[in-house]
Amino acid sequence: MNKLLLLALWCAPGLAVPSAAGQEYLESANNSSSLAPRAADRLGFDISVAQSTNFFTCMRKNGYTKAVIRAYIQGCGVGGEVDSGFMKSYNNARAAGFKAPNEIDAYMFPCTGTQSSRSCKPIQTQINELLAMFKSKKVAVHRIWLDVEPTRRPKDPCNAWNLSKDQNLNLAKQWTAAMRKTGLKWGIYGNPNQWTAMFPAKSSNIGSDLPLWVVKDDFKQGLNTVNQSHMMGGWSLSKLVGKQFHLSTTVCGGGIDKDSFKE
């Protein structure tokens, strides 16, 4: 079990330092023990739609011990915003027995392109909005994942990562630099099959020092099914923390992706 460290992120630019009574507990990036091998990978899932307590109870009964909940969205038309369904899912997961922070992660799918009606909010603003929500709602999560993937639907008004490949690479590096400054545990979610659609090459490195949650939709549970040839962005297998192995399926009446996690 990882030791929790008192959160110091509120010293990040644009965020006020809270009083002692208002301080929350998340895991510090300085605690790297979570990357150590475990006896067995955790069976996890990620969701992008709010789910009920019954759903999370069912998932737990089916052996899932890691929930990853979307906490921030592109916010088409507003340049990025907190996901309004996050707190419902977070509270319901807690009520169903998922322990915070070790069994709950969050991910953000921020505004990164050129939206049809307005520009994206600055990177720091989007991060601050997410972390301010965590503070005000007393949220504790183990890790926050930055979802790096292009918009899937043609002519989508959000237009994620629709700049030039060089501009996308520069933007992604700005994101990872801002993430590191918070002092929290972050990671990158990405798909090798989408990497060259966004960046100059499969080897384009946006932050290979950060943990990776990789997509390999092979329906095989376990991180040991990923080899180095599948990796992208300069990541080594030693940084592999998660694998999304079954996309877009239904379990316990809810839409999920199935995952394996080392932590």
**pTM (2 d.p.):** 0.86
* CA 208 – CA 193 distance, rounded (Å): 17
Question: What sign has the CA pseudo-torsion 109, 112, 118, 121?
Answer: positive
DSSP for 13-49, written as a single string: TT-PPPPGGG--EE-BTT-GGGGS--SSPEEEEEESS
Question: What sign has the CA pseudo-torsion 180, 159, 167, 124?
Answer: negative
Sort 32 into a burial class: Cβ within 10 Å, 0-12 / 13-18 / 19+: exposed
Say what angle helices 165-181 and 123-136 make with each other, to 10 degrees. Answer: 40
* CA 13 – CA 237 distance, rounded (Å): 33
Full pLDDT tens readout for the chain, 263 residues: 333 333 333 333 334 333 333 334 455 565 544 444 444 899 999 999 999 999 999 999 999 999 999 999 999 889 999 999 999 999 999 999 999 999 999 999 999 988 766 789 999 999 999 999 999 999 999 999 999 999 866 667 788 998 999 999 999 999 999 999 999 999 999 999 999 999 999 999 999 999 999 999 999 999 999 999 999 999 999 999 999 999 999 999 999 999 999 99
- CATH code at 40-221+236-261: 3.20.20.80
